[in-house]
Structure 1
Amino acid sequence: GTWTFVTKALCGRKSLLAALADVSPMLADSRLDNLRAIRSVAPRAKTMNLRLPSFSELPELVALSDLTLHSEGAVLDAVAAEAARQGRRHQVILMVELGELREGILPGGLEALYRRAAEHESLEVVGIGANLGCLSGLVPAIEQFQQMALYREFLELKFDTKLPLLSVATSVALPLLREGKLPSSANHFRIGDSVLLGSDLVHGGTIEGLRDDAFLIEAEVVEMKEKSLSPLGDTSAAIRPFADFETEDPEPGERGYRALVSLGHLDTDIASLTPIDPRVRLAGASSDLTAVNVAGDSPAFRPGDRIGFRPGYSALVRLLAGRYLPPIELIGTESDSPLPAAEAEIPVG
C-alpha cells in the first residue's frame, strides 16, 4: 500500500512544510493557499486536493493538484474540461458514501459516475474512496472496507479496467492496521492527525511507536494570584460568549493559585490543550486570556514565565490558521525518530 501525508493542520506554514515535505511521496490539502505553499517548498511532490472541488476555483485547482476527489458528475465534467484546456491528464478518485454522511455518492450511483468520468480523455480514474470518522465520528468497521473492495472489483470487471487505489483509510483506521484487522485491499492511507500528533483516534492516547510531543504551545503568564477558585456570585451561561469546557469543580470558598496566560479562544481551541506541568489545570477562558489553577502552597509561576501545553488536532489547526501567531521555532530534528521529523515550539503572547 501507499500513503499520503495530509498537511491541512499545517495551514500552509512553509517552515513546517519544508521540514516534513519528504515524509510521503504525495502531500494532500484542501485549500488553494496551502497547495500553493506546498508547490513552493516541494515543487516535485505529487499533490492531492482533499476537499470536493468548487467550480469557482477550478483553473488554479487543476494546476496545483495532481489528484482530486469527486462525487458530482457535473464537477467531474468541469475538471475534465479545465484539465484538457491546460493540456494535463488529471487523476481522480470517486468517493462513495458509507454512512459517515460527509462526501460520497450513494453506491447505486457509482457505476454511472465512473462511466461519466471514463468518457473524458483528460481524466484518469485511479481508484475509489470513502471518508470515515471526520464528520460524525464514525468508527470504521471491517465490513465497510470489504464493501468498498467489492465495489472496486465490480467496476474493474464491468469496465475491464484496473483501479489501483482503494482510498478508505485515514488516521482512524491505523489501530485496525496495527491489530492486523485491516483488509489488504485497503491500500491507500490519507494520514494527518496521527503523523503530527501520534493520536489513536479510536482508543485515545498515542499510537505505539509514534510521537505525541512534536508540538509545544507556550503561553506567557500575565498574572499570578491567590484567589477564590469559584466565582463570587450568581453566574449565567448566557453572559459568556464562548462555550464552556470541562473543568474541575472547586469546593465553595476554596482558594488557590490562579494564573492568567495570554492565550484565548481567538487563538485556539482551549479545550483541546493539555498542560504539560501536572500542577496546572485549565479553569476557563475568554477571547484573549486563559485561566489555569496551579496546585501548591506557593506561587509556581510569576509574570513573564511561560506555561507549556500539548495541542490536540483542533487546537493545532486553529492556532496555525490564526492571524496572531508569532514565528514558529523548529527546535530540533531527529532523522532516526518516528514521525514527525521536526519539533515545533509555538510561543504565544
Structure 2
Amino acid sequence: MNRLTVNLDALKHNYCAVSDWVRAHGASLTVVTKALCGHKQLLQALEGFGVSSMGDSRLENLRTIRESAPSVESWYLLPPHASALRKLLPLCDVSLNSEVGTIREIDAECRRSGMIHQVVLMVELGDLREGVLPGKLLSTAARILQMQHIQLVGLGANLGCMTGAIPMSEELSQLAMYHELLELKYGVSIPYVSAGTSASLNLLQDGTLPKAINHFRVGEAILLGTDPVSGEAIPGLRTDTVSLEAEVVEMKEKRLVSLGEMGNTPFKTIEDDEEEAEPGQRGYRAIVTVGQVDTDIQGLIPLNPEHAIAGASSDVTVVNLGPDDDGVSVGETLTFRPTYSAFVRLMNNPYTAKAVVGHPVHAVV
C-alpha cells in the first residue's frame, strides 16, 4: 500500500517559526491550506496550533474550514466567480479581487443578504497573474470605495506564484507606496498590504522586507519548509513534514538503456543519468505503484540519495537503485519527499492513503 504521511510535530514547528517571524515584523498571517485539499484532521490540527486565519481557493475546502475550524477567519484566494457568489460569500470573510464588475456583483449580493464583505484589491507587480494595472489603481479603488456593502481592507500582490518572478524589496516598496497614496487621496484607512508569501520570507529574515508589508499568505513554507522559487529548504524550518512511502512490486537487475528506436510516450520523465548510460550497462531497478495519475513524479525526491527516478507511466514509477539491490525486496517500500506540486496532487488523490502522525494524533485516514 502507498501512504502519504504528515508529521504534525514538524508542521507545528514550521507554523510557530513562521508565525514568530511574521509577528516580529508587526504583521499578521493567513495560512494557505490549498494543498491540504480540505483534510479535516489537518485543518483541526492547525486550528489547535493557534492558527487564526486560513486561505483556500476551493469552495468545498472553505466549507470544510467553516465546519472543522469554525473559529478561524477564512480568505478566498482566487478571483471570485460571479456565478458562484451566493455560495461563496457565506463561506469566506475576505476575498482577493481584481475586477470591478465582480466586486459590484458582490456588493449587490451582500445588499440582498444584509452582509458586509471584505475585499483585498490585487495589483499587478510582475508575476502576470491577477491584478489591476498600476495606472488603473486609483480609479478602480475610487469605484470600490463608493460601494455600500464592500469594505476595502487591503492591497495585495502575487509574486513567485506563476512565472517565478522573485519578490524584490523594490516591487514591494512600490505596493506600499500605492497603499499610502490611496489612503492619502481618499482619506481612508486600508489595514492590509498583503504581499508576504513563502517566497518573500528570505526578505523578512534578512531585514530587507519593507515594513509596510503587514500581511502574509504562507502555504509551502509551513507545509513543507521550502522556498517555492528556489525549491531549497528555508533555514529554521523542517523539511520532514511530509513523506511518501511507495510499495515495491518488482525488483530486478535490468539494462539501463532501452533497445530499438525511441518514440514519444504520454508521460516522459527520464533521468539525465540514464540518457548517458552505455548500451548494455545494467543496474538494479525497483518498480513502485505510484504513477503520473497519482502525482507529479518529477516532484518526488528519493530519500536515499543513491536512488534516482528513471521514468514513470500512468500507474508505476521505475527507480534506479544502482549497481546492487541495496537490500530492497518486493513488498518493502521506498520513501520519497514530495515537492509542493507532488504533495498537492497526492493530497487530492483518493488512491493514496493519508496518515497523520505526531502530536497529538496518530491515524491513517
TM over 0.5: yes
Which moved further from structure 2: 21-30 or 74-83?
Answer: 21-30
Structure 1: distance between partners of 2:271 and 2:185 = 53
User: Is residue 2:144 matched to residue 1:117?
Assistant: yes
Does the 8 A contact of 2:197 with 2:218 survive in 1?
Answer: yes
1:244 to 247, 261, 269: 269
Q: Which amino acid aligns with 2:207?
A: G
1:182 to 209, 216, 238: 209
Structure 1: distance between partners of 2:61 and 2:325 = 46
| 1:256 match: secondary structure | strand
Identity %: 47
User: Is residue 2:82 matched to residue 1:55?
Assistant: yes
Structure 2: distance between partners of 1:269 and 1:39 = 30
CA deviation vs aligned residue, 1:170-222 (integer Å, no higher than 9, x gap): 11101111111101111111100111011023444211111111111111100
**What is the RMSD of the two structures over their aligned residues, measured on CA atoms?**
1.7
What does residue 10 of structure 2 align with?
Answer: none
Change (3 A) 1:162 1:173: same
* Higher-RCO chain (CA-CA 8 Å, sequence separation at least 6): 2
Q: Which amino acid aligns with 1:315?
A: A
What does residue 91 of structure 1 align with?
Answer: 118
Structure 2: distance between partners of 1:264 and 1:29 = 27
TM-score by length of 1: 0.92
Alignment gaps of 5+ in structure 2: 1-26
1:162 to 184, 189, 194: 189
Alignment gaps of 5+ in structure 1: 335-341
What does residue 20 of structure 2 align with?
Answer: none
Residues paired across the two proteins, number: 336
Does the 8 A contact of 1:267 with 1:324 survive in 2?
Answer: yes
Structure 2: distance between partners of 1:313 and 1:136 = 16
Change (3 A) 1:312 1:306: same
What does residue 102 of structure 2 align with?
Answer: 75
What does residue 283 of structure 1 align with?
Answer: 310
| 2:295 match: secondary structure | coil
1:210 to 223, 234, 237: 237
Structure 2: distance between partners of 1:166 and 1:180 = 17
1:42 to 41, 55, 69: 69
Structure 1: distance between partners of 2:362 and 2:296 = 20
Give the structure with the higher percent helix.
2
Structure 1: distance between partners of 2:63 and 2:106 = 18
Structure 1: distance between partners of 2:334 and 2:114 = 53
What does residue 193 of structure 1 align with?
Answer: 220
Matches within 5 A, 1:18-29: 18-21=44-47, 22-29=49-56
What does residue 15 of structure 2 align with?
Answer: none
Does the 8 A contact of 1:125 with 1:163 survive in 2?
Answer: yes
Q: Which amino acid aligns with 1:97?
A: E
CA deviation vs aligned residue, 1:80-105 (integer Å, no higher than 9, x gap): 11122222211100011112110001
What does residue 35 of structure 2 align with?
Answer: 9
What does residue 14 of structure 2 align with?
Answer: none
Task: Give the Å deviation of 1:20.
Answer: 1.8
What does residue 227 of structure 1 align with?
Answer: 254
Does the 8 A contact of 1:214 with 1:344 survive in 2?
Answer: no
Structure 1: distance between partners of 2:332 and 2:111 = 58
CA deviation vs aligned residue, 1:45-71 (integer Å, no higher than 9, x gap): 100000000012111110100000111
| 1:37 match: secondary structure | helix
Task: Give the Å deviation of 1:299.
Answer: 5.3
Task: Give the Å deviation of 1:344.
Answer: 9.1
User: Is residue 2:266 matched to residue 1:256?
Assistant: no
Does the 8 A contact of 1:220 with 1:304 survive in 2?
Answer: yes
